[in-house]
Structure 1
Amino acid sequence: MNSIPEFGELLAGAKQSAVHLEMRDRYFSNPRFEAWRRGHRVDWEDRASWWRPFHDDVAAAVSRGVSLRRARVVSEPVTDYIRWEHYVTTANVKAGELVRWLPRRRTADLLLPGCDFWIFDGRLIRIHHFSGDGQWVDKELQNDLSLVERCAAAFEEVWARAVPHEEYEIQ
């Protein structure tokens, strides 16, 4: 596929579901993470201060009946980046996304893909590629049903074992 649509466009086209598997302990740094490291905390009552276009996309999809689920496989004790992600996941949940966390030590018997991904409606997968230090490298879009099915099965295995966001305690 020549041109890969942005996430918002793919989500806007979803009819039933979007699932996201994240498996890294650190991603590229960003200003919000750096501000959090310096002690800045979100005022969750002031939605305008933290709501982003991503949250609009999620809320719109959920309002159309699309189920959005995200599972994160994390090493424990967690990195500062994961600690921050756990903190800001409140925004994802408020937008309507369901999020679960699975400690990496509970995945030894699972066959997991080597890359993070989104699957839309069980038919299209957007694969994310990162460098060793968590910098964004590339993305690819595949509609190979065999690949989608294998990755969806891996996601469901993680989801079944993972702890809901509101119950997961950072180690």
Structure 2
Amino acid sequence: MKYPVREGLAKAQHSAVHLEMRDIYTPDDPEFARWRAGHRYDNDPTKLPDYWGSWGDLATETTARGVVIRRARIVSEPVTDYIRYEHDMSFANVAAGELVRWLPRRKAADIPLPGTDLWMFDKRSVLFTYFSGAGDVVDREWRTEPAVIEFVSLAFEAVWERAIPHEEYKPV
């Protein structure tokens, strides 16, 4: 499946958590280039590019079903331009019903973490995403073993507890 996250969200009944740990993703993204050139969306989700709109629709539909979507980002400080871009664009995630938090990497040093970004759905399945060094997705893997679920759940909750809500986090 090209977009396995959509599959996970469609099946989720209670929760979906997303842990992001990279400082750059898809560096050739045209929207990131536009942002670097000064384009801003002024916190208006109705003016986002089509791919953001489809994500917003999916997140909104999912949260309307009662599924809580939490996104935690572990970031290096000072932050990269890409993280500034993500922070600037996260108003769209929040508008779609996601809860978003940010954790400076130095505050995560003693948390046992998975080796890559992930989504976990209803504490029943985990979708790991593997990236190239440049930040492009190279593979994804579903895992359902109880030990993997427990490890991911404990790691995410530790990050979430320490992380700063989006509205309060100011990229350094």
TM bracket (short chain):
over 0.9
Q: 1:143 to 1:44 in 2, by over 3 A?
A: same
* TM-score where L is the length of structure 2: 0.93
**Aligned partner letter, 2:17:** V
Partner of 1:111: 112
How far has the Cα of 1:23 moved from its partner?
Answer: 0.4
Q: How does 1:58-137 map to 2 (within 5 A)?
A: 58-137=59-138
Once residues 48 and 2 of structure 2 are traced to their aligned partners in structure 1, the CA distance between those partners, rounded to angstroms, is 30
Q: Which stretches in structure 1 are left out of the alignment for 5+ residues?
A: none
Q: What SS is found at the alignment partner of 1:9?
A: helix
Q: CA deviation at 1:146?
A: 1.0
Alpha carbons of 1:52 and 1:148: their partners in 2 closer, same or farther (altered >3 Å)? same
Aligned to 1:22: 20
Identity %: 51
For normalisation by structure 1, the TM-score amounts to 0.94
- For residues 117 and 46 of structure 1, do their structure 2 counterparts lie closer, same or farther at Cα, with a shift above 3 Å needed? closer
Opposite residue 77 of structure 2, the aligned amino acid is: E
CA distance in 2 between counterparts of 1:80 and 1:71 reads: 18
Residue in 2 that maps onto 1:138: 139
Structure 1 residue matching 2:128: 3-state secondary structure: strand
> Runs of 5+ in structure 2 lacking a partner?
none
**After superposition, what is the alpha-carbon deviation per residue over 1:5-57, rounded to whole angstroms, capped at 9, x for unaligned?**
62112101100000000000111121111100011111434614345211111
Taking structure 1 as reference, are residues 65 and 104 closer, same or farther at Cα in structure 2, changes over 3 Å only?
same
Contact 1:18 1:121 in 2 (8 A): yes
Deviations, residues 88-128 of structure 1 (Å, cap 9, x unaligned) = 00000000000000000111211111100000000000000
Compute the displacement of 1:163 (Å). Answer: 0.1
* 1:167 aligned partner: 168
Output the amino acid matched with 1:109.
D
AA partner of residue 151 (structure 1): V
Aligned residues: 169
Amino acid at match of 1:60: E
* Aligned equivalent of 1:55: 56
2:48 & 2:59 partners in 1: Cα distance? 17
